[in-house]
Amino acid sequence: MNWWQHLTDLGSLNVTAPIAVGIAAWLGVAHCVRLAGYWIAVFLAAMALVVASKLAFLGWGIGSQALDFAGLSGHAARAAAVFPVAIGLLLHRQKPRLRNQGVLAGALLGAAIAASRVVVGAHSVAEALSGCLLGLAAALLFIARARSAVNFRPGPILVAITLSLMLLLPKIDPRMSQQWLVAAALTLSGNDRVWQRPGWQLAPAPYIPPCAPEKVRWTWLCTWP
């Protein structure tokens, strides 16, 4: 189980966000500003769909009880989007066959991370699979657009930028990201309780932030630690 947990951690915001930002930064350094903008747009559009699906369930119970679907898996979507793109860019100057193999390896890693979300009990099969497919669609859209770009700098620059971002960007507490989702769902829906998977119904009691009262901010949020 620990191996699966380590694998699922590769899809966390603390790993995938620096890679996504690193891709955009590297494209900018390589004077491919339009392509960087395209990557940002595609990636953010995919993430917006993930957030919207989670808010739809938390706030209004929109999902599928039959499929056990309560929102797209963010880990699966992010991993399937960033790893094929990052590896494909690193191998951009290599022969097409090797580059395609790298993209496939990135896609398989994204799929493995999606599977790990099911194994660790974080998501259902439908949630992990749909998230993975969304991420792969975003990656393929970008890769198809990037085929025409020829003025990339050497791949190690991307690695250096990404590693620097992983060290410099503030770490995101998973509890905090979930708190923001819950707060947004409650604010937008006007409810004082969220929908929950057991029974597919509203929680029996109003939502209470999981922290001491003095740490509560803006009604629904906690300050960490």
Give the pLDDT confidence score for residue 154 in this predicted structure.
47
Helix, strand or coil, per DSSP, at residue 161 = helix
Of residues 114, 32, 54, 124, the one with CA closest to residue 81: 114
Give which of 169, 128, 162, 105 is closest to 11, Cα–Cα.
128
Q: According to the model, what pLDDT value does residue 218 have?
A: 74
User: What pLDDT does 50 receive?
Assistant: 97
For helices 96-119 and 125-146, angle between their N-to-C axes, nearest 10 degrees = 160
pLDDT tens by residue, the chain, 225 residues: 588 888 999 999 889 998 998 888 888 877 788 899 999 999 999 999 999 999 999 999 999 999 999 999 999 999 999 999 999 988 887 888 998 999 999 999 999 999 999 999 999 999 999 999 999 999 999 999 887 665 555 456 666 666 676 666 666 666 778 888 999 999 999 989 999 988 889 999 998 888 778 788 777 777 766
The pLDDT value given to residue 120: 93
What are the domain boundaries of the chain?
2-168, 174-222
94/16 Cα distance (integer angstroms): 24
The answer to whether the beta carbons of residues 157 and 42 sit under 8 Å apart is: no
pTM for the complete prediction?
Answer: 0.88
The residues near 14 (Cβ < 8 Å, ≥ 6 apart) are 166, 171, 172
Q: Bridge partners of 217? A: 221
CA-only gyration radius of the chain, Å: 19
Burial class (CB in 10 A: 0-12, 13-18, 19+), 86: buried
**Whole-Å CA distances, 131 to 9, 53, 75, 106, 174:** 16, 10, 8, 15, 18
Burial class of residue 131 (count of CB atoms within 10 Å of its CB; 0-12, 13-18, 19+): buried
